[in-house]
Amino acid sequence: MHSYLTTLCALLLTSTASTTAEVLQVPEEYPTIEAAIEAAQAGDEIRIGPGVWYENLFVSKQLTITGSGQGVTIIDGSQPQLYSFGSCFVVTGFFSKSGDPFRLQSLSLRNGFGAEIYGVVRGGGIYCEYAAVELNEVTIEDCSAERQGKYDSMGWGGAICNYGGDCVINDSILRNNTSFSYGGAIFNGGSIELNDTLITNNVADLEGGGLYAFSLGSSVACLRSSICDNQSRYGGGFSLTETAVLLLESCRLTGNLAEDGAALYMDATDTVITDSAFEHNVSGSNAAVIRILDQSNGPDNPSLEVSNSFFCGANQGDWREFILEPSPNEFLETCGPTGDLNHDGAVSGADLSTLLSQWAATGWEASADLNCDGLVSGPDLSILLANWSAS
């Protein structure tokens, strides 16, 4: 017994020692990120210096990859090697839900164009398959899920495709990404959580300009985030099909555009919306800003709970009848001109005061970020002044 315990202790000590995380430096120790990933053990961190890295990276172990800042360290996926994929990252592996995720932080991904698998082009910036992934302070821009061959039937996620995994996005920006069918920025077939994140100016040809979620059991949570100026045919902001749960808490859905469901387009989904704002979302005539299909309000059916939220814009549709236990909300048929921050129908001194009081603010609560670039600054002031006294 004694020798068994001694052996066990020795094994535990050995395994503890062998899992001490190491830091691998690019380019000082490894000339490419790919070389560092190959050399790294699970649990290690790779740190990347400033610069543009033209790489398309495959990861199947738990790592943390840290750049020198958004816009400072840039991974550009536009030049893959022959027969490689076009995503900046493909992450795969059955990581345990309790274990650490694969982490990307403090860097930008650009110009990735997706991994083509079985005729579906997936994740222009990142394709993750059955993996736990966490992004911290990452910008994904100008990526696409674009048709690569004539037999490609669908594009899933211009910036990110989450297939059967767990994806958490913190303090990040997804902008100017496109998909030729679903999810201009995000395709979600697992669970996804957005925290303090800006999703802007993404386009999907078919559904979900900002995000498209599919498959039973998947969940979407959006907290303290802005979803603005995205567009698609259905669901300019979000489109959800057979998704179990949607949570919007302290989110702004602004300026999204679609033929139908400019802000949201979804079928029966347990939905909680709280402390959020829906403004300037534009749907086609006879269409709705929020379109809910196949929702029945029986006691055992999915529900829509909305509280402390603000909605403006025409064509809000018939979705309000689905709200269970409505709490205080505000509904206006028109939003007024851009810059009318207090919704009194004109752009005037009160709105200017609001903008100045938010000067240099970032984050979802900055209603004066009129151009939706994540910052209240000069261009927003110019827009407000250009609409001065308009009503």
Residue 229 sits in the site that holds Ca ion (CB under 5 A): no
Residue 137 sits in the site that holds Ca ion (CB under 5 A): no
CA atoms of 302 and 293, how far apart (whole Å): 12
* Residue 57 structure tokens: 């990276």
Q: How many CA atoms lie within 13 A of 149 on its CB side?
A: 11
Q: Hey, how many other C-beta atoms are within 10 angstroms of the C-beta on 178?
A: 23
Please state the closest distance from residue 135 (CB atom) to Ca ion, in A: 22
Contact 160, 140 (CB under 8 A): yes
Which residue in 134, 142, 229, 340 binds Ca ion (CB under 5 A)? 340
**Residue whose token pair is 């839900």:** 97
Nearer to Ca ion, 221 or 368 (CB): 368
Which residue in 344, 349, 353, 386 binds Ca ion (CB under 5 A)? 344
Please state the closest distance from residue 252 (CB atom) to Ca ion, in A: 13
Nearer to Ca ion, 133 or 375 (CB): 375
Choices 142-150, 246-254, 311-319, 377-385 (CB under 5 A): range interacting with Ca ion: 377-385
Choices 64-72, 194-202, 371-379, 381-389 (CB under 5 A): range interacting with Ca ion: 371-379
Which residue in 148, 342, 354, 362 binds Ca ion (CB under 5 A)? 342
Angle at 126 between CA 48 and CA 248, to 5 degrees: 110
Cis peptide before 27 (omega within 30 of 0): yes
Count the helix, strand and coil residues of the chain and give each as a percent rounded to the nearest 5: 10, 40, 50
* Residue 44 structure tokens: 């290690």
CA atoms of 334 and 314, how far apart (whole Å): 6
Please state the closest distance from residue 227 (CB atom) to Ca ion, in A: 15
Residue 369 sits in the site that holds Ca ion (CB under 5 A): yes
**Can you tell me whether residue 8 is helix, strand or coil?**
helix
Nearer to Ca ion, 66 or 172 (CB): 172
Nearer to Ca ion, 124 or 336 (CB): 336
Task: Tell me which H or E stretch contains 386.
Answer: helix 378-386
Residue 373 sits in the site that holds Ca ion (CB under 5 A): yes
Candidates 183, 251, 242, 180; CA nearest to 217 is 242
Choices 67-75, 128-136, 327-335, 366-374 (CB under 5 A): range interacting with Ca ion: 366-374
Nearer to Ca ion, 116 or 369 (CB): 369
Nearer to Ca ion, 55 or 369 (CB): 369
Please state the closest distance from residue 314 (CB atom) to Ca ion, in A: 18
What's the DSSP call for residue 151?
T
Residue 371 sits in the site that holds Ca ion (CB under 5 A): yes
Nearer to Ca ion, 125 or 374 (CB): 374
Q: Per DSSP, what are the bridge partners of residue 85?
A: none
Please state the closest distance from residue 380 (CB atom) to Ca ion, in A: 4
Please state the closest distance from residue 346 (CB atom) to Ca ion, in A: 5
Which residue in 351, 355, 363, 387 binds Ca ion (CB under 5 A)? 351
- Alpha carbon 101 to its chain centroid, in Å, reads 17
Please state the closest distance from residue 232 (CB atom) to Ca ion, in A: 23
Q: Hey, how many other C-beta atoms are within 10 angstroms of the C-beta on 330?
A: 11
**Can you tell me whether residue 18 is helix, strand or coil?**
helix
Please state the closest distance from residue 139 (CB atom) to Ca ion, in A: 16
Which residue in 37, 380, 384, 387 binds Ca ion (CB under 5 A)? 380
Please give the size of the binding site for Ca ion, defined by CB under 5 A.
Answer: 9
Q: At what angle do helices 378-386 and 349-357 cross, to 10 degrees?
A: 170
Do the bridges between strand 73-76 and strand 51-54 make them parallel or antiparallel, or are there none, so unpaired?
parallel
Nearer to Ca ion, 29 or 344 (CB): 344
Nearer to Ca ion, 306 or 375 (CB): 375
Task: Tell me which H or E stretch contains 6.
Answer: helix 2-18
Nearer to Ca ion, 134 or 351 (CB): 351
Give the binding site for Ca ion (CB under 5 A).
340, 342, 344, 351, 369, 371, 373, 375, 380
